Structure formats: structure tokens, C-alpha cells
Amino acid sequence: MASLELRGLRKSFGGRPVVRNLSLRVEDGEFLVLVGPSGCGKSTLLRLIAGLESPDAGEVAIDGRVVNELEPGERDVAMVFQNYALYPHMKVLANVAFPLKMAGVPRRERERRAREALALLGIAELAGRKPALLSGGQQQRVALARALVRRPKLFLLDEPLSNVDARLRAEMRAELARLHRDLAATMVYVTHDQVEAMTLGGRIAVLAAGELQQVGPPLEVYRRPVNRFVAGFLGAPPMNLVEGEAAAALGAPGVVAGFRPEEAVLGGPLAARVTLVEELGSESLVHAEVAGGRDIVLVLPPGEAPSVGAELSVGVPTEALHRFDPGDGRRID
Amino acid sequence: MRRWANRLLLVALAAAFLYPLAWMLSASLQPEGAALGRPPFYLPDGLHFENYPVAAARMGRIHRLVWNTTLLTAACILGQLLCCSLAGYAFARLRFAGRDALFLLVLATMMLPPQVLAIPQFLLFRRLGLVDTFWPLILPTVLGGAPFFIFLFRQYFLSIPQELVEAARVDGCRAWGVYWRIMLPLARPVIGTVAIFTFLATWNDFWAPLIYLNSEENQTLALALASFNQSYRVAVEWLMAGTSMVLAPCLLVYFLFQKVFLRGVRLSGAKG
């Protein structure tokens, strides 16, 4: 396993910057989740690390060694792709053994290791099948086995769970967490899924428009977002952000006031009118309009949701209120 | 009603296409000099199968002809497959300056009729001292290939997900490894199509062997059929017997690989 360091990385496509002067260090054995909206440059960043794209400027260093000039196959990294990218003409065993074949490992040895990797993921019985005959979850496991068979220095995972159904996603999340723990591997994981980011990452790095916004442990980023973007991006539903009269009512005049939907309480200084109620069973999402026409969302226990059109008064505990600069969006402490 | 009308139309079309083939077989079984003077398929004297050995004897050393034609066809198939798949791969997957312009240029050469190239090409091969060898027939396939097949390979390679290429690169393949280990095995449908098209075109080719192959020992089957043209008349029955023999492998290949052939026709309309 190894550390990863990105120094001043830049990448543009057709004059449009996709990664802007990005520096980041991932420690040996760490699970870092890159999270951000579509088009923010997170997949490009992963491809730069893998060597599938060349940076316009900056350096990629794996274990202290700059690898900019190395081919992807020479960087000793393994990558799991969104669509699994299993070779359709090869059986599962051959798919998993393929990186070892390219590395010149003798046939018997590579088959043994491929079978071990398949067994580790609980799919040893699929060795003789072609990928087309596997379910999405099985294909995902084969892709993981192919990544870990060569014991790379670094695992790169590009939205690997985005194509599996919700139940399987939860299962695979747990599997990935277990694999990371067992292998003590350095992993960089790209996702736009908040739950994956919050549950998997030892640290998360939030990206927007090719720039790193914040890096830190998931709960820290969730609780103390450094700017409006991070505040509005993390969390489902995301943080409520209000300005003007509504912010002043909450005791934050002249700034953007933010509060998590689950931390708001009924009974307080902020007047709101209910526009929509979504009953989720375990909780109710109450959408309401506040002064200035802005929408907010509240999470209330089931059965406590008011009806549509009802007038509410909303309160936010002082410690749950975040303040952001209305100009550059930075956090104000 | 409409279904029956469609069927009737298909039967009529099939009959129109089959007629020359059936006439060829019928003529090949007529006694000498009878084929042109009688109504088609009229065989009052029985079936004259002896026309076939006579035709084979008239064509000359039949083993030599079959060997020459097979060798030439096999070399052209291999040449086309190698050259067109490599060119198609480069146009589909490698990044280099002027790639698309070059591809357009390759496509533009499809508009040149082969007759236009015949004289300059002949002069070139004569200067190289390769006339009356198989090289003028093989080299153009190895060193250029047919633009249509390049197009076919390119379109097919474009349809293979880019992620497979990237996975192979991360797994340790370079450009050649991606081509050889991933792209080519996945391109089996196109390989089959190109092989069959090339087989049919080369096996039946009369024109290029006529230009380049002079000596008897280098003759191909198609050239040997020309020996039935005599000064004052054509030995139609023997010619048809010879043609039936030469055509038999083509028909066999077509019937055996009909699905691949039709898939190739469909592929040529693939999106890009």
C-alpha cells in the first residue's frame, strides 16, 4: 500500500478547465471519498491519478515517486469502473487473472491468485462463467476481484455502485468497508452519492467546478461546512440556506443563515407556510416557504407533519445555526 | 392478404435471382453444342455429367489452379484482416493529429473506380519486377486494405465501450495489447464478415489476375475459365460446367456463413 500526493494539478478540455490547481494528500491505508456534483471534475481527477489522462500542469506522486510519465499499467494502481468494464470475451477467471497475465505472472500462480480473489469476494463458483451471464452485483464483485488480485499500491473506484439497485448498494457498501479494513488498502473512491460519501470515507474531499472545497472526516465536513456550496451539497435533504428577513429572524442579519432540516424545531421566530409534505414512513419531509419566497425543508417525526397550507413558526438552536458570507459564501465563525 | 402478397413478391424475386444459377447448372448438363439452341431446362438426352471432367481437363492442371486460387485468397483474407483491423483501430481509438482528415481521405478513395488505378499500379509493379507473381494481387491488401473494410472495423471498434480500453490499459496493456487482446477478439463478427467478403471477391476475381498473371503456372481458376472462349465460338456447356465447379466453394461458404454475411451487410449501416 502507498500514499498518494497530488500537487498543483490542472487539466482542461478544449480550453475549459476541469481540474484547477488541485493539491491533495492521501495517506497510506486511507479511504478517501471524492464527492461532488456531476461535471465537477472528480472522475477526471481519478483518471489523472490512473494515468488515463495527462495533467496540463502539476504532479501525481504515488509513494513519493512522481508517476506523471508512467503508463497506467506501470503505476501499480487498480481501477474499478462505473460499468464494471469486464472483458466480455473472457470467462470470469480469465478476467480476474488478466492483470497478472500482463504482469508476466506464470499461469498456475495467476490462476491460484485469481481463485483466491474470487473466494475473498464469495464468488468462487462463478470462475467458469462469461460476464454476460452474471447479475449486476456479481459483475461488480468480479470487477473488485480483478482490482485486488494484483495487490496494487492504490485502488481507484469510479462510482462503482451507481449501477446497482438500492438493496445491493447497501450490501456492497458494507462489503467495500470490510475489504478496506481487511486489506488496509489505500483507496480513492469517486461518488456523487451522499450516503456512500458519509459512510465509506475516512475523509471526504468535496469538489466543485474542478476546485477542492473542503477535505476532512465526513462528520466534520457535515457539521462545519467551510462554505455555502459544501453546506448545500452535503446532506439529504441538504442544508437550508436563507437570507435577508428570514436570516434576520433567526438572529443572523446581513448574512446567509444555514440550518440542517433535522435540526430545526417547531416553535420559533421564523414564519413559514407549508407547501408540500412527503411522508417517508420513518420521518416526514415538510417543505415550507419563508419570507423572500425561499423554500426550506424540515424533517419531522412521522405523524407530526402539519397539513399543506398551514402556517408554521420555525426555530433553530443557536449551536445549529451556520453563517455564511453573502458575497463569497465563506463560513463566518 | 398483405402477407401473401409479400411472400409472392419474395418468391418472384428469389426466382429471378436463382434463374441464372439454375440455367448454368442445366446448361452444364447439356450435350456439346446443345445449350444455346434449346429452351432452358430442356434435357431430352439425359444428364451429361461427363462435361465436368472434360471441363476440368480443358482448364489445365486443375490442382495447380485450385492451389493458386486458394493461396491467393488466403493471403488476401489475412492481408485485409490485418491491415483493415489495424487501420480501423487507429482511426477509432488512437489519438493523433489529422486523424479524422486522414480517415475522410481513406473514405474518399472508395469513390475511385479500380480501373482508374489499374495503369499506374501496373507500371509500379512492373518497375518493381513483380508482374507475373502473386504480389501485385496480395500487396494492395496488406499495405492498404479496402477502405470499406477499414470503415467497417472502425465503426465496430467505436461501438466497443471506451471503459474496456481503459481497463486494459490500467491492467497493463499498451496500444498493441489493447488491439490484440481486447479489440480483435471482440471484433469477431466483423472479422467473419471481412473474411467472407474478401473470399468471394478474390476467389471470383478475373480482372486483376488477367492483368498481372501471364504464365500458365500462375493462373487462377477464374482465368482458366477464359480458356473456353475459342476463336469462333464459346463452348457453353463446358464453360458452364467449369463455372459451376469454380462457383461451388463460394456457394458453400455463403450457405455455411449466411448469418455472418447478413450481419456484415447490417454492420455496414452501423452508426459512428
DSSP letters along A217-281, please? -HHHHHHS-SBHHHHHHSTTTT-EEE-HHHHHHTT-TTSEEEE-GGG-EEEEEEEEEEEEEEE-S
pLDDT of residue B117: 85
Residues in chain A: 333
Is A87–B172 a contact, with Cβ atoms under 8 angstroms apart? no
Domain span at residue B262 reads 21-268
Q: What is the CATH number of the domain that holds B59?
A: 1.10.3720.10
**B8 domain residue, yes or no:** no
pLDDT band at A45 (very low <50, low <70, confident <90, very high): very high
- Smallest CA-to-CA distance from B136 within B39, B228, B229, B208 is with B208
**B207 domain residue, yes or no:** yes
Q: What's the alpha-carbon Rg for chain B, to the nearest Å?
A: 23
Q: How many domains does chain B have?
A: 1
Kindly state whether B161 is in contact with chain A, defined as any CB-CB distance less than 8 angstroms: yes
φ/ψ of B203, rounded to 5, equals: -60, -40
Mean pLDDT across chain A, nearest whole number?
A: 91
- Residue B15: exposed, middle, or buried by beta-carbon count in 10 A (0-12, 13-18, 19+)? exposed
pLDDT of residue B126: 93
**B3 domain residue, yes or no:** no
- The complex scores an ipTM of 0.85
pLDDT of residue B232: 57
- Rounded to the nearest angstrom, the gap between the alpha carbon of residue B66 and the centroid of all alpha carbons in its chain is 16
**B9 domain residue, yes or no:** no
Which residues lie across from A216 on neighbouring strands?
Answer: A204
Rounded (5°) CA angle A193-A196-A201: 125
pLDDT of residue B270: 41
Kindly state whether A54 is in contact with chain B, defined as any CB-CB distance less than 8 angstroms: no
**B1 domain residue, yes or no:** no
- Rounded to the nearest angstrom, the gap between the alpha carbon of residue A6 and the centroid of all alpha carbons in its chain is 18
Identify all chain B residues contacting A79, using CB atoms and an 8 Å cutoff: 166-167, 170
Task: Please give the average per-residue pLDDT across A156-178, as a whole number.
Answer: 85
Give the residue from chain B lying closest to A96, CA to CA: B171
**B39 domain residue, yes or no:** yes
Contacts of residue A61, defined as CB under 8 A and 6 or more positions apart, other chains included, come to A4, A5, A6, A7, A67
Please compute, for residue B165, the number of CA atoms within 13 A of its CA located in the half-sphere on the CB side.
Answer: 17
Instruction: Compare CB distances from B167 to A51, A74, A81 and report the shortest one's residue.
Output: A81
Regions of chain B where pLDDT drops below 70? 230-233, 261, 264-272
pLDDT of residue A325: 93
**B40 domain residue, yes or no:** yes
- Smallest CA-to-CA distance from A212 within A33, A31, A63, A74 is with A33
pLDDT of residue A294: 87
Is A78–B182 a contact, with Cβ atoms under 8 angstroms apart? no
Q: Quick one: what percent of chain A has pLDDT higher than 90?
A: 64
- How near does any CA of chain A get to the CA of B266, in Å? 22
**B111 domain residue, yes or no:** yes
Residue of higher predicted confidence among A333 and A249: A249
Q: What is the value of pTM for the model shown?
A: 0.81
Task: Please give the average per-residue pLDDT across A164-168, as a whole number.
Answer: 80
Kindly state whether B163 is in contact with chain A, defined as any CB-CB distance less than 8 angstroms: yes
Instruction: Convert the pLDDT of each residue in B94-148 to its tens digit.
Output: 989 999 999 999 999 888 888 888 899 999 999 999 999 999 999 988 887 789 9
pLDDT of residue B264: 65
In this model, does residue A88 exceed pLDDT 80? yes
